[in-house]
């Protein structure tokens, strides 16, 4: 039972969709009855994506940068800190998916301020990033021992870092910053939120994040609106309070 094993409703629904597609073919060929197509999916709860507010982002960035400069030059701990910083910059700076970053090769870091990534559909894309992202990643490449062409190498020669390793390094960084609920995909959402807040259009953000459907990108407009509403100055409530005080 998928639900008993802790699978989310959305994950279970994907299994149901796959089964219904298979059964539809079997119904058309007369192997099974049409009643199998009546299987319904589970209700899903729409959750707001976890992104970092400005103060949280500043705190995480400080923890990551301080770790590099506070440790002894040439030490294993400092090398690990440079690795964590480079991963953070790639995930938050480019809004990359977990697999997109670990799959990058050295030639995918372009001096003019782009990361060349292989998207989920198998096509290449060029993601614009700040010059500082390129600098930090190249600093990591020149600091680490040579081990093939991958920017973030794995244990085996000329192999990419395991996804769980990259996720673990980011989780450890976030934990030290007091953000235990933040993970790699949260950094992707943070990139989308920060771009929208800075005035980038939904179409531009769709291109940066590699969304197939622009409706997916619309969530960042909603997040920015909600954030703005929370920060609105209380200009009118004071008048009502003053009136109550006069009574």
Residues present in the chain in total:
247
Residues whose CB falls within 8 Å of the CB of residue 36, separated by 6 or more in sequence, listed in order: 20, 23, 26, 27
Cβ 100 vs Cβ 118: under 8 Å = yes
Q: Hey, which bits of 11-120 come out as E strands?
A: 109-110, 114-118
Separation CA 156–CA 160 (nearest Å): 8
Active site residues: 97, 120, 185, 188, 211, 220
3-state SS assignment for residue 126: strand
151 by Cβ neighbours in 10 Å (0-12 / 13-18 / 19+) ranks as buried
Report CA Rg, the chain: 23
């Amino acid at each position: 039972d998928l639900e008993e094993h802790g699978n989310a409703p959305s994950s279970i629904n994907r299994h149901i969709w796959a089964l219904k597609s298979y059964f539809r073919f079997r119904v058309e060929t007369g192997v099974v009855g049409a009643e199998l197509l009546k299987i319904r999916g589970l209700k899903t709860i729409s959750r707001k994506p976890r992104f970092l507010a400005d103060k949280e982002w500043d705190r995480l960035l400080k923890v990551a940068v301080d770790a590099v400069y506070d440790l002894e030059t040439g030490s294993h701990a400092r090398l690990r800190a440079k690795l964590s910083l480079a991963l953070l910059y790639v995930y938050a700076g480019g809004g990359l998916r977990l697999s997109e970053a670990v799959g990058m090769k050295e030639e995918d870091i372009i001096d003019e301020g782009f990361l060349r990534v292989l998207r989920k559909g198998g096509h290449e894309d060029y993601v614009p990033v700040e010059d500082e992202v390129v600098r930090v990643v190249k600093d990591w490449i020149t600091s680490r021992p040579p081990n093939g062409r991958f920017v973030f190498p794995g244990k085996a020669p000329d192999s990419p870092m395991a996804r769980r390793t990259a996720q673990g390094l980011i989780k450890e960084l976030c934990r030290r910053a007091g953000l235990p609920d933040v993970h790699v995909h949260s950094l992707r959402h943070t990139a989308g939120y920060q771009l929208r807040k800075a005035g980038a259009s939904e179409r531009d953000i769709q291109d940066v994040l590699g969304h197939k459907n622009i409706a997916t990108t619309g969530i960042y407009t909603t997040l920015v609106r909600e954030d703005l509403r929370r920060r609105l100055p209380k200009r009118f409530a004071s008048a009502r309070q003053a009136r109550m005080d006069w009574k």
